[in-house]
Homo-oligomer: A and B are copies of this chain.
Amino acid sequence: MIWLLFLLDSIDISLTSNYITEMNKPRPPDAVISVMSKKLRSVYALIRSELEVRGLQALDISHGDLMFVLIHSGPQAMKELSRRIDRDKSTVTSLVDKLEGLGFVKRSDDPADRRASIIGLTQKGEELKHEFNKISRIALERFWHGIPQHERITFMEILSRISI
Contact = CB atoms under 8 A, between A and B. Distances in A.
Contact of A8 (B23, B44, B73, B164): B73
Contact of A156 (B2, B29, B145, B153): B29
A25 B160 contact: yes
Interface in A21-35: 23-33, 35
Interface residues of A, number: 70
Contact of A153 (B9, B29, B147): B29
Nearest to A25: B160
Contacts of A142: 164
Given A26-B160, A158-B151, A164-B43, A2 B35 contact: no
A46 to B, nearest CB: 7
The A interface is mostly helix, strand or loop, or mixed, namely helix
Q: How many copies of the shown chain assemble into the complex?
A: 2
Contact of A139 (B9, B33, B36, B144): B33
A93 interface: no
Interface of A: 1-6, 8-9, 13, 23-33, 35-44, 46, 61-62, 64-65, 67-69, 72-73, 80, 84-86, 132, 135-136, 139-140, 142-147, 149, 151-164
A61 B34 CA distance: 11
A156 B31 contact: yes
B144 A2 contact: no
B156 A27 contact: yes
